[in-house]
Amino acid sequence: MTTPLQGASQKVAKYSVSAGLMILMAAMTPAHAQTPPLTECQGAPILNLSASSADEVANDRVRLNWTVQFEKPNAAEAMTEVNKVLSSSITRLEKNNQIKGLRNAVQTYPLYGRDGQPKNWVAQGTLTFELPVEALKSKGSVDLEAPLTLANLQYFVSPQRIEEHRERLSKQAIADFMNKASSASAAFGFPGFSVNQVGLQDERLGPAISSPMQPRMLMKASQAIEVSSTDVATAAGNSNLSVSVNGSVCMKK
């Protein structure tokens, strides 16, 4: 959200800016923007500026999605088998206080024969939860009932770590915005500038290196890997975090 800053006239010293900052500076525009300029900017040339600071941050959380399915002559039998596996696994996982966001889902659907009539029923259950990456590295940290199998996992940055980096990235982006405004005013021959409008936005841009996930066919219970305690290989990687500053300054005459 764009927030006017009153009386922010100042000369700014040179700032050191970290590598990787992406800077975009628009051309000078007349002082008739959509939002009326401050009183002190009335009739003065206005310069639109945009600066951003980005960094790669190590993923410290992981979300795992597990699945199990059974094929039975009727839906009730298939559902019963799935619920047994899910209930046992949920009981085990609830004993681990590092596991968060535990949830499950179940669905059933018929398998049709060549005559168009239901032949068997399949019940498919899913189990999802998240935990710290370091906890996942511990042997036996994921204790599940067979034949649950790992469908996929996703690494991400925790809100706490995002907050830790947001302040630093915000300061870098703001410093660069002000430094560019100071340099531009001097280059155009003005003694200084006043901040007219400014807005701050931060976002997570996603994995630093994207790897597409391939679809996987679900296995029948008889084909599933029989494990009750699963060790998952970990390579958490990084995510890109970015903070951008957008606004305008007016040139002091």
Please indicate, yes or no, whether residues 22 and 88 belong to a single structural domain of this protein.
no
What's this model's pTM, rounded to 2 decimal places?
A: 0.63
**The domain boundary residue, chosen from 121, 140, 156:** 156
Write out the residue range of the structural domain in which residue 171 sits. Answer: 3-54+160-206+242-252
89, part of any domain: yes
**The domain boundary residue, chosen from 117, 141, 156:** 156
* pLDDT recorded at residue 59: 92
Distance from C-alpha of 69 to C-alpha of 72, rounded to nearest angstrom: 10
Distance from C-alpha of 88 to C-alpha of 104, rounded to nearest angstrom: 12
pLDDT tens digit sequence for 211-251: 333 333 333 333 333 444 456 777 888 888 899 999 999 99
Looking at every residue in the chain, the average pLDDT score rounds to 77
Please indicate, yes or no, whether residues 76 and 50 belong to a single structural domain of this protein.
no
222, part of any domain: no
Least confident of 1-10, 88-97, 171-180: 1-10
- Count of the separate structural domains present in the chain: 2
31, part of any domain: yes
Please indicate, yes or no, whether residues 165 and 246 belong to a single structural domain of this protein.
yes
* pLDDT recorded at residue 15: 33
- Tokens representing 166 are 């947001």
- DSSP result, 40-57: GGTTS-EEEEEEEEEEEE
